[in-house]
Chains A and B, each alone.
Chain A
Amino acid sequence: MKRIEDCEELAKIADELRIDILEMLHTAGSGHTGGSLSAIDILTALYFSKMNHKPGMENGAERDRFVLSKGHGAPALYVTLARCGYFDKSELASLRKLGSMLSGHPYSPSTPGVEVTTGSLGQGLSIANGMALGLKLDQSKSVIFCLMGDGETQEGQVWEAAMTSAHYKLDNLVAILDNNGLQIDGFVKDVMGIEPIGDKWRAFGWEVIEIDGHDMSALLGAIDKAVAVKGKPSLIWAHTVKGKGVSFMENKASYHGAAPTAKELEMAKKELNPA
């Protein structure tokens, strides 16, 4: 894939993908809106600028891999993969429908470009570790990127995996935390606090890079920095806003698992594409 370096162009792509997400979720009538909008800038930076990948490069030794550990962010992954050409954009309208290649959560056997099946939270980082271990054995230059939700880190397995990444010095692994502060039942800090986030990951042996997860320039810089770290795994601690880009969805737990109505879709599109 051609690598785009211009931040304004990338931000524009991200906003167009936001519209794709909202349209597909509206058509589906259900799905995870808030966490897809908080993650889409991260996916845009990875897939359109930093990752070495292209459709058909399924098992190339140098192919970078992306693991969506927060599987409910599937809509963000699907619109990204469609735009990259892994499958036709018309498939997006079939999300969550019988016979569709696009399941409610990522299911790798049915969707081109989806690396692993995720949805039961907390397993993606372990899977990413396994990929990183295997590719290191092959002396591959591939990098594994793993996107987690902040609420997801309440799962104990995340910390088992965090130990493993550091123990095996997996510097070909970059984890990204989509820290939008919300989970289904409310604010993460109220449901089950996970602070101090940076101290925890550093104590587990990780390099922690803290950024604004909606600042495209900061994202590109953080990914470069993380990939360059040697001898230990890196975490990009991305501060994000759940529902980012649509004012009435931002920071609302109620949009975790709710699709936009027709009226909400129209309002959102006006905000995202004022021209």
Chain B
Amino acid sequence: MTSDKKSLRDAYGEILVELGSQDRSIVVLDADLSGSTRTSKFAKKYPERFFNMGIAEQDMISTAAGLAAVGKIPFASTFAVFASGRAWDQVRQSVCLSNMNVKIVASHGGITVGEDGPTHQALEDIALMRIMPNMTVIVPADAHETTSAMKTIVKTRGPVYLRTARDKLPVVTDEGFEFDIGKGSVVRDGPDAAIIACGYMVAKSLEAADLLAKDGIMAAVVNMSTIKPLDTGLVAKMAASTGAIVAAEEHSIIGGLGSAVAEAVCEVGPVPVIRVGMKKPVGQSGKPEQLLDHYGMNAISIADAVHKAVSMKKEPVSNAQS
């Protein structure tokens, strides 16, 4: 991990223009947030292929389905709360039931939306999109992965929900890293526990792993950027090799990555799974880092969760191989 921080939404806006120059069937829709979601870059370059739908997210999603029905590849963007919540039935009925080739790229995911407060903090979107039929759900960890994921999803038919963040995030992937749908990546290895994270929590998990190392616990960190389809093979492997799992996400502990990991672990051979995420029903305004500290989504909280998971192992670490 470098100390560099880069914006995921900037990365989205830039790659969208690049992809748009290569493929004329790419069209972009936004709901009056094009400056914030960064689709404004595409709008400026290709105005004839950009459709501002006004403040009407439901109409935007169904319109995107219509564009897909005549062979276009629509990217529809707005804040994560609106894309997943306001337009949930349109995502289900107009897009997902018929496996329409609509890409929903939602910015401002999670509690790090910050000062805008609880109405704008998407803490349920992964759950809402994960249950959608045919939907692929992606939460990139950094700007580089966002770019790589965009290159992949544009070539893959079917609906995708890709969540970015408001703030710049630390770069955690290597230059040569290539995103693959449904594949998690081990960004740090360790035998004692595995932290499976997505989005900003990958960087926080790497910090946590540093803290844990000082206590003699060597924790692996997995960047699980595809929540659905989940890389159950990797989850099973990490569960078997470490015997203790922590899942970390900037999302409610109900229904998101933590739930997906817990479901998978239960089916492959149970080991302790501790979920790190939003445990309170509703957030509040505040600075992003203050909120992560306040609601237990920081490196210390993740490290504490690892200690707990390790303490719950059925066998001590030293005997695990015998």
Query: Which A residues form the contact surface with B (CB < 8 A)?
Result: 59, 107-109, 115-120, 123, 126-135, 137-138, 156-157, 160-161, 163-164, 167-168
Contact = CB atoms under 8 A, between A and B. Distances in A.
Given A123-B93, A130-B70, A134-B27, 16 more contacts: A107-B98, A116-B98, A117-B94, A120-B92, A123-B90, A126-B63, A126-B90, A127-B69, A132-B66, A133-B27, A133-B67, A134-B69, A134-B71, A157-B56, A161-B63, A163-B59
Contacts of A138: 70
From DSSP, what is the main secondary structure of chain B's interface residues? Answer: helix
B35 interface: no
B67 A123 contact: no
B135 to A, nearest CB: 15
Contact of A126 (B48, B66, B74): B66
A23 B290 CA distance: 66
Nearest to A117: B98
A165 to B, nearest CB: 10
A107 B94 CA distance: 10
Which of A123, A127, A137 has the most CB atoms of chain B within a 10 A radius of its CB? A127
Q: Which has the most chain B C-beta neighbours within 10 Å: A128, A138, A157, A163?
A: A157
Contacts of A117: 93-94, 97-98
A116 B49 CA distance: 22
B295 interface: no
B89 interface: yes
B72 interface: yes
A134 B66 contact: yes
B59 A157 contact: yes
Given A123-B93, A126-B94, A116 B65 contact: yes
B56 A115 contact: no
Interface string B50-75: 01011010110111111111111010
A119 B98 CA distance: 12
For A116, A126, A129, A161, the residue with the greatest tally of chain B CB atoms inside 10 Å of its CB is A126
A130 B71 contact: no
By size class, the interface of chain B is 20 to 34
Given A116-B98, A126-B62, A163-B54, A131 B93 contact: no
A130 B69 contact: yes
Contacts, number: 103
A269 B68 CA distance: 42
Report the 3 A-B pairs with minimum CB-CB distance, sorted nearest first: A130-B66, A126-B62, A160-B59
A118 B92 CA distance: 11
A130 B56 contact: no
Contacts of B259: none
Contact of B65 (A127, A135, A157): A127
Contacts of B89: 120, 123
A127 B56 contact: no
B51 A131 contact: no
23 contacts: A108-B98, A116-B65, A116-B66, A116-B94, A118-B93, A120-B89, A120-B92, A123-B90, A126-B63, A126-B94, A129-B59, A129-B63, A129-B66, A130-B62, A130-B68, A131-B66, A133-B66, A133-B67, A137-B49, A160-B58, A163-B59, A164-B59, A167-B54
Interface string B17-48: 00000000001000000000000000000001
Interface in B91-110: 92-94, 97-99
Contact of A130 (B58, B63, B93): B63
Contacts of A135: 70
Nearest to B48: A137
Contacts of A59: 71
B175 to A, nearest CB: 36
Nearest to A164: B59
Contact of A164 (B48, B63, B98): B63
A164 B53 CA distance: 7
Contacts of B98: 107-109, 116-117
